[in-house]
Amino acid sequence: MPSRRLSLAILGLGVLVLSLAMDASADHHRRQRQRQRDGKHCLPPVTSPAYRTECGACHFAYPPALLPSGSWRAILQKLPEHFGEQVDLDPARRRELEDYLAANAAERCGARLAGKIMASLGGQAPLRVSQVPYLVRKHQGDDLPADAFSRPGVGSPANCAACHTGADQGDFDEHRVRIPPR
Ligand code: HEC
Ligand code: HEC
């Protein structure tokens, strides 16, 4: 009976549209809740085991919302010459990371800190988290001794977790900072 099949198809389409709409609204509410729960300086922590494995082996696994998707795309494109290192990924793994980073990049994140990062970039997509203007500014205050980034156990401004004790949970609040001694 073709008409029965047709009405089934229409019903199916209706369910699809409805569930897409519910999805979008759930997404919206999730972001809103996140914004309320957030301290001012928190980001969602890393959730992808693949990302943690591949991109946390040599350094802190940066929460994706620290950079816009354009930065992550450029970083993944340049992996054979990754800041003087060669990072090898098979194509499937690379695609997995690309999807994860694109979906969780700064412009997709409702956290206030992500908004500050995006606003400070003015459309630029730097290859380094430590070059994000908002973060550079935040580390120029009097609370940071001049030699802080070169102290033992720190070594570089990119070594967030050396000072931010909650960095692994995406927490960059200044109240959880411990600068290692000289
Ligand atoms: C073989 C070691 C290695 C692996 C694996 C690796 N990196 Fe790196 N990464 C480095 C080195 C070395 C630097 C430069 C560190 C510095 O200058 O302080 C760096 C720097 C970075 C920076 C810039 C940090 C900053 O703000 O200055 C980002 C972002 C980054 N890596 C992302 C990634 C991503 C994404 C992956 C996974 C696809 C990855 N890295 C895997 C070695 C590695
Ligand atoms: C040498 C220690 C050190 C390193 C490394 C470091 N930070 Fe910080 N960070 C600080 C200190 C200290 C402050 C507080 C500065 C102030 O309030 O004047 C701060 C402030 C911040 C703030 C603002 C927090 C607030 O409550 O106002 C953010 C966000 C932040 N850091 C992110 C990062 C990220 C991301 C990295 C790595 C790319 C990083 N930091 C690396 C010491 C460090």
- In angstroms, what CA-CA distances link 43 with 35, 46, 53, 110, 145? 10, 9, 20, 9, 25
Distance 59 CA to ligand 1 centre (A): 6
The amino acid that residue 162 corresponds to is A
Sign of CA dihedral 133, 139, 142, 147: negative
My answer on whether 151 and 113 are in the same domain is yes
Predicted confidence band of residue 170 (pLDDT cuts 50, 70, 90): very high
HSE-CB of 43 using CA atoms within 13 angstroms: 26
Q: How many domains does the structure of the chain reveal?
A: 2
pLDDT digit string (tens) for 42-78? 999 999 999 999 999 999 999 999 999 999 999 999 9
pLDDT of residue 89: 97
Asked whether the beta carbons of 151 and 19 are under 8 A apart, the reply is no
My answer on whether 64 and 120 are in the same domain is yes
Radius of gyration of the chain (CA): 20
Atom of ligand 1 nearest to the CA of 89: 38
Ligand nearest to the CA of 171: 2
Predicted confidence band of residue 36 (pLDDT cuts 50, 70, 90): very low
My answer on whether 4 and 72 are in the same domain is no
**Does the pLDDT at position 30 exceed 80?**
no
My answer on whether 24 and 89 are in the same domain is no
My answer on whether 92 and 170 are in the same domain is yes
Sign of CA dihedral 153, 157, 163, 169: negative
Ligand 1: lining residues by beta carbon, under 6 Å? 54-55, 57-59, 62, 75, 79, 82-85, 87, 97, 128-130, 156, 158
My answer on whether 98 and 162 are in the same domain is yes
Domain span holding position 77: 49-176
How many percent of the chain have pLDDT more than 70?
A: 81
pLDDT digit string (tens) for 97-127? 999 999 999 999 999 999 999 999 999 999 9
My answer on whether 115 and 153 are in the same domain is yes
My answer on whether 28 and 102 are in the same domain is no
Q: Averaged over 154-182, what is the pLDDT? A: 96
Closest residue by Cα to atom 36, ligand 2, is 160
Residue 150 lies inside a defined structural domain of this protein: yes
Give the whole-angstrom CA distance, residue 153 versus residue 167.
Answer: 15
Mean pLDDT score of the chain = 89
My answer on whether 62 and 109 are in the same domain is yes
My answer on whether 14 and 75 are in the same domain is no
My answer on whether 89 and 119 are in the same domain is yes
